[in-house]
């Protein structure tokens, strides 16, 4: 299928394909958003923007400091031959199984950018922190990176709880966060760029695929925090509008490892499919129990939206082979940019290390920030925000483009199947990038969700 073009118009068809590209069947595209929701500035961010406008603040390559919250000068230093940026990822706790890969890809992107001359002629100097899988720690470390370390932008976060905890910090400090993971949508901040998928680029394609496969009884299982609960609220609305019965909805705390009760409820529910929003190492316990009770991918397939190639090894291929995932990138995506990316990642970290969607979105986020800064000819937040719309990058997943109205990214959607070699192969691909619709304004059944 084509990559890098415009998103298809409503009513055209998505093509289901095998891993080898053989057409399988078609089903209608969900409509593209018919109207755009502009970013709603918080009171603090609005005051900052007005103050910036009033004083004409701008930071070019040789200036010292960038405009900060309330119109005052931030502590970001652009006078030398380096510029500091922050990496904030969980390197400990339940989310480390996933977030370490994001950190690795950010390091790779920074090395590549520095080797190619940096950003506006400045080398990137990395200040790294561990979010420790705790939202409060993410907020504290974000404050430190912005106020004490004086970074120009921060890259990281995974769970929606961590993002929600950091959001007021970035808005009050008028700094920028680049968030690399798919999430539940229904949010847009002038101080966050969302480089992973929003709802209409992952969750809805996942449900579309199940509907196309004739699945009418779906069981929902998720971790007990913001993303799964909001995602399932959306899935419930989708199901009601599409004659799908939700036969169970269960949640477990992050890090939970005893899934006997939940899986027995799943088995007894009569479900013919599962939509899984578990995060972190809970997936290991869930899929082991799923297999223990005799459930199979053929009889009751599971679509997961937080399991990528790196997690497959941790869960165990035997426990998850044949299961489905919904993402915007796989290591097996065929493109010259992806071949280069995979080769570079493996050269740095080893042939046994796979690439995955969140790490690719993180890798891409650093290049998108670079593109925004160079378009703006400035490291200042207001200048970057003004320059963001239309900035593109030939990413490993395909060409991605920033939507300046909502700070999300136009992305191609994939449904993949986990194979015996531990990799995930696309079985379906959208016809080009899907425009981001975080508030689901293009879907009648979603009215009232936001």
Q: How far apart are CA 16 and CA 123, in angstroms?
A: 44
Q: How far is CA 3 from CA 72, 194, 206, 405, in A?
A: 43, 20, 19, 22
- How many other β-carbons are positioned within 10 Å of the β-carbon of residue 344? 18
Q: How far apart are CA 284 and CA 73, in angstroms?
A: 47
Whether residue 155 contacts residue 85, with contact meaning beta carbons closer than 8 Å, is answered with yes
Is domain 43-197+335-410 annotated with CATH 3.40.50.2300? Answer: yes
Identical fold for domains 14-35+200-329+412-446 and 43-197+335-410, yes or no, is yes
Domain ranges of the chain: 14-35+200-329+412-446, 43-197+335-410
> In tens digits, what is the pLDDT along the chain, a chain of 450 residues?
322 233 333 333 334 333 333 333 333 333 333 334 446 444 334 333 333 333 333 333 344 444 444 444 689 999 999 999 999 999 999 889 889 999 999 999 999 999 999 999 999 999 999 999 999 999 999 999 999 999 999 999 999 999 999 999 999 999 999 999 999 999 999 999 999 999 999 999 999 999 999 999 999 999 998 899 999 999 999 999 999 999 999 999 988 999 999 999 999 999 999 999 998 889 999 999 999 999 999 999 999 999 989 889 889 999 999 999 999 999 999 999 999 999 999 999 999 999 999 999 999 999 999 999 999 999 999 999 999 999 999 999 999 999 999 999 999 999 999 999 999 999 999 988 999 999 999 999 999 886
Is domain 14-35+200-329+412-446 annotated with CATH 1.10.10.10? Answer: no
How does DSSP classify residue 35? S
- How many other β-carbons are positioned within 10 Å of the β-carbon of residue 23? 9
Nearest to 133 by CA among 101, 102, 94: 94
Q: In what order do the strands lie in the sheet with 13-17?
A: 23-28, 13-17, 424-429, 414-418, 324-327, 302-304, 273-277, 217-223, 245-252
């Amino acid at each position: 299928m084509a990559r890098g073009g415009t998103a298809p118009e409503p009513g055209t068809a998505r093509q289901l394909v095998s891993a080898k590209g053989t057409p399988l069947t078609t089903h209608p595209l969900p409509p593209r958003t018919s109207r755009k929701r502009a970013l709603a500035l918080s009171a603090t961010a609005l005051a900052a923007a007005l103050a910036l406008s009033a004083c004409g603040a701008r930071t070019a390559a040789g200036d010292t400091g960038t405009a900060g919250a309330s119109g005052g000068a931030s502590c970001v230093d652009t006078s030398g031959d380096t510029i500091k940026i922050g990496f904030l990822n969980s390197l400990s706790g339940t989310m480390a199984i996933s977030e370490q890969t994001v950190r690795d890809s950010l390091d790779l992107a920074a090395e590549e950018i520095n080797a190619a001359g940096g950003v506006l002629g400045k080398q990137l100097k990395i200040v790294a922190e561990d979010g420790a899988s705790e939202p409060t720690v993410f907020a504290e470390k974000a404050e430190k990176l912005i106020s004490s370390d004086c970074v120009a932008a921060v890259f990281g976060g995974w769970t929606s709880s961590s993002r929600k905890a950091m959001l007021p910090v970035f808005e009050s400090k008028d700094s920028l966060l680049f968030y690399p993971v798919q999430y539940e949508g229904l949010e847009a901040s002038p101080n966050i760029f969302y480089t992973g998928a929003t709802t209409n680029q992952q969750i809805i394609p996942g449900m579309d695929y199940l509907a196309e496969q004739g699945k009418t009884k779906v069981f929902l299982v998720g971790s007990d925090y913001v993303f799964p609960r909001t995602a399932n609220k959306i899935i419930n609305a989708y199901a009601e509008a599409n004659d799908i019965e939700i036969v169970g909805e269960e949640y477990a705390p992050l890090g939970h490892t005893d899934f006997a009760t939940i899986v027995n409820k799943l088995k007894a529910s009569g479900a013919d499919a599962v939509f899984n929003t578990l995060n972190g190492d809970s997936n290991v316990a869930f899929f082991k129990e799923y297999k223990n009770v005799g459930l199979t991918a053929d009889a009751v397939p599971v679509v997961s939206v937080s399991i990528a190639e790196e997690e497959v090894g941790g869960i165990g291929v035997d426990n998850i082979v044949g299961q489905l995932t919904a993402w915007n990138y796989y290591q097996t995506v065929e493109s010259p940019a992806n071949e280069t990316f995979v080769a570079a990642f493996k050269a740095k970290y080893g042939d046994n290390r796979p690439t995955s969607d969140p790490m690719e979105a993180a890798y891409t986020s650093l290049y998108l920030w670079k593109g925004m800064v160079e378009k703006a000819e400035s490291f200042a937040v207001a200048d970057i925000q003004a320059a963001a719309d239309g900035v593109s990058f030939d990413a490993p997943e395909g060409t991605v483009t920033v939507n300046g109205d909502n700070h999300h990214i136009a992305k191609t959607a994939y449904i993949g199947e986990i194979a015996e070699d531990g990799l995930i192969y696309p079985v379906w691909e959208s016809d080009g990038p899907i425009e981001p619709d975080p508030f689901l304004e293009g879907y009648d059944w979603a009215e009232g969700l936001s």
